[in-house]
Chain A
Amino acid sequence: MQTSSANSASLDSLLEEADSWQVNTGGETIHAKRMRGRWRTLKWITSTIYLSFFLGPYLRWGDRQAVVFDIPNRQFHLFDITILPQDLWMLSLVLLFLAILLLALTVIVGRAWCGFLCFQTVWTDVYTWIEERFEGPPPQRRKLDKAPLSPRKIRIKAAKHGLWLVIAVLTGISFAAWFTDAYGLWAGFLTLQLPAAAWVTILLFTAGTYILAGFMREQVCMWLCPYARIQGAMVDVTTIIPTYDFHRGEPRSRKKRGAADGGAGDCVDCNQCVAVCPTGVDIRQGQQEGCIMCALCIDACDAVMDKLGRPRGLIRYESLDGLQGKARPPLFRQPRVLVTGLILLAALGGIFYGLNTIDAIELKVLHARQPLYVLQSDGSIQNRYTLKILNKLADDVKVRISATGPEGLAITSGTTLAVRHGTVTPVTLFVRVPRRNLSVESQPIVFHIETLGREPAFSSDRESIFIGPKQ
């Protein structure tokens, strides 16, 4: 336990440095102060999600990589599921799900993505943490930036940039590893024998990581990222976001309560909320585009309030309605939560349905257009079809083709064939029907394929048309 005199001494030192913390105007590098706290801890925990980004590619599933997005072969492997281009409609549902999830999250708790989960935030956080280890707290960093070039400065800066680059290269390799064999990638990387596409990918992501997390940092959030621009349309008066309680805080006074007049608020204008802000905004000016809602200002303010012996929560997660003393409607009574929730459920349902009904073999039928039908010498009518058989199984398989349609139809070309796995096998098929059985110009015909010689057997149907002469 700290004594009250120690508290007030440390508060004095905070007030002394208060004016050195300035709001970000874009002119200089933001060196944010690091402080412990609940939200700080939460941010570290949420950041660990990116460990899966680094470690995921090394997971094995049977004799291959568990997750690999094989672009050259147009196959996505997710554990025991293989997704071919024909199933990519599910990807659009996944994207829809993620986009709406982002919207739903923002509707309820603001830019939690930006503050706790965004790779820009997380990588910048790690980079500035490294910076602090090498260069010290913000005042020393500012001093070092201004200092003339010296062996000490070069040593410190080189070490920092070196470590940054190592992380950047690891990021680049980890990204590339999701698209190819991870171990082979490392082998190729270490022996300098990677294909050009891999080098370019690694280089781009290395450069991107190094520049975006090392130099641009909050400028990405403030001037590059479109999400900051559209969040205004997502957040409303019921959204709980880090908010400065101005009813309680204003008017600000740097005097301690005992010495202040009765009208002063709880804010002592120590600028600690600005000091810790990674984007350098002043939360007390209200909601603004620069705020990524990382809640670090809440930690900073709570620490000061603790020192002052005042209740925490001068800056807290609160909605604008809440600030006015209005009760927030429960989540299920908010139309936007309901609508986004429904869309999320629908997208999830679609993905679930898709994954459960991925056909092992799939049949597509194209009816020849030129000519639509051919009169044969025995008076029957022949139609030509191109059947495209997609085999998603792991092995080549034999299939038998059959058709049902106009009476007396006969398939005059071969009806069993081998189809290669992981690709589409096209086959031309001729079907004949006696002319007397064609009462109308166009009739439905259903093609059916089934696998032979394997258990369980798979089958697929596809309807097409049989065309005869005009009646």
Chain B
Amino acid sequence: MADKNPFPGENNTGHIWDDNIRELKNDPPRWWMIGFWASIIWTLAYAVLYPTVPVGDEPNKGILGWTAIKEYKEGLAEVEAVRARYETQIQGMTAKQILADPGLTAYTVASAKVLFGDNCGACHGSGGQGGPGFPVIVDDDWLYGGTIEKIEESITKGRKGMMPAHAKRLSPQELDTLANYVVNLSQGKDDPAGAALFKAKVCFACHGANAKGVQAMGSANLTDSIWRFEPGGVESARRTIAHGVNDAGDAETRQAVMPSFADRLSANDIKKLAVYVYKFGGGVQ
């Protein structure tokens, strides 16, 4: 720093480096000062209009009364307003009528996606692909029927099938024979010994004379490729026969309960979900 100011008459601070680099005391440009004061005024106005620093113990709500939750609810109301047109139409229609209208079906499928994720996905998978112990609902095999009415009924009332445990009623050989028989059935192979035992042990009472199941009671179709309890095969079938399904008297029984959603969801939401599940591709006319 120079001791003597070599630039007399110039409005500098006297701070000089490298002989000629010096700090001037020029005023900031006018536009800059305008911006400076404008931003201070802006800040004050903002503090008055919007929630800012609390005054005393009270939160400062600002004179506009703006809140984030209010803004969110307004945004939500806008969405609801857009949906209202479809929702009012859907209200007065049955699920079958909705399916007859491609536009409303598309709306229903799109808007029920969240409902499905919230209420169904935990057991049936986000895409309806099922999970260990929980049925796949995208295929064309339905224990209780795949028409739109039956799907709606399953969601509303819930389903709880029952197959008694046979471990105490059948010998191990008989269990093996029946387990092999149902696997052969699903592969379309002949098994006269198994068929005879199937008849002798009155399995047909629930599964039907042709072993195709009875939808009224939710008994499984044993002739198709799909297993209610994955992974299927002899071992899996043997366990189901031995310990049953939902048999309270057997500790190892298969647990299979679809809860009722009548109390949790509105009839309208259930209707939408039925359409959504139907459109997974397995729905039956």
Whether A and B are associated in the same complex: the answer reads yes
Footprint of B on A, CB under 8 Å? 368-371, 374-379, 382, 384, 413, 428, 430
Footprint of A on B, CB under 8 Å? 125-129, 136, 138-141, 221, 224-226, 279, 281-282
Among A378, A384, A413, contact of B224 (Cβ-Cβ < 8 Å): A378
Are the C-beta atoms of A374 and B225 separated by less than 8 Å? no
Are the C-beta atoms of A375 and B127 separated by less than 8 Å? no
Are the C-beta atoms of B126 and A374 separated by less than 8 Å? no
Residues of B within 8 A of A384 (CB): 138, 281
CA A377 to CA B213, docked complex, whole Å? 13
Question: What total of A-B pairs shows CB separation below 8 Å?
Answer: 46
CA A378 to CA B224, docked complex, whole Å? 6
Residues of A within 8 A of B140 (CB): 376-377
Are the C-beta atoms of B226 and A377 separated by less than 8 Å? yes
Are the C-beta atoms of B225 and A375 separated by less than 8 Å? yes
Are the C-beta atoms of B281 and A369 separated by less than 8 Å? no
**Nearest chain-A residue to B138 (Cβ)?**
A374
Among B127, B136, B221, contact of A368 (Cβ-Cβ < 8 Å): B127
Are the C-beta atoms of A377 and B141 separated by less than 8 Å? yes
Among B129, B225, B279, contact of A428 (Cβ-Cβ < 8 Å): B279
Is chain A's interface secondary structure helix, strand, loop, or mixed overall?
loop
CB distance from B215 to the nearest CB of A (A): 13
CB distance from A106 to the nearest CB of B (A): 32
Residues of B within 8 A of A379 (CB): 224-225
20 contacts across the A-B interface (CB closer than 8 A): A368-B127, A369-B127, A370-B127, A371-B127, A371-B129, A371-B136, A371-B138, A374-B139, A374-B282, A375-B225, A375-B226, A376-B139, A376-B225, A377-B224, A378-B224, A379-B224, A382-B281, A384-B281, A413-B281, A430-B281
A-B pairs, top 8 by smallest CB distance, nearest first, are A370-B127, A371-B129, A377-B224, A379-B225, A377-B141, A374-B138, A374-B139, A430-B281
CA A370 to CA B117, docked complex, whole Å? 13
Are the C-beta atoms of B225 and A371 separated by less than 8 Å? no
Residues of B within 8 A of A370 (CB): 125-127, 129
Residues of B within 8 A of A430 (CB): 281
**Nearest chain-B residue to A370 (Cβ)?**
B127
Residues of B within 8 A of A371 (CB): 125, 127-129, 136, 138
CB distance from A27 to the nearest CB of B (A): 12
Are the C-beta atoms of B281 and A374 separated by less than 8 Å? yes
Are the C-beta atoms of A377 and B126 separated by less than 8 Å? no
Residues of A within 8 A of B279 (CB): 428
CA A382 to CA B129, docked complex, whole Å? 12
CB distance from A82 to the nearest CB of B (A): 26
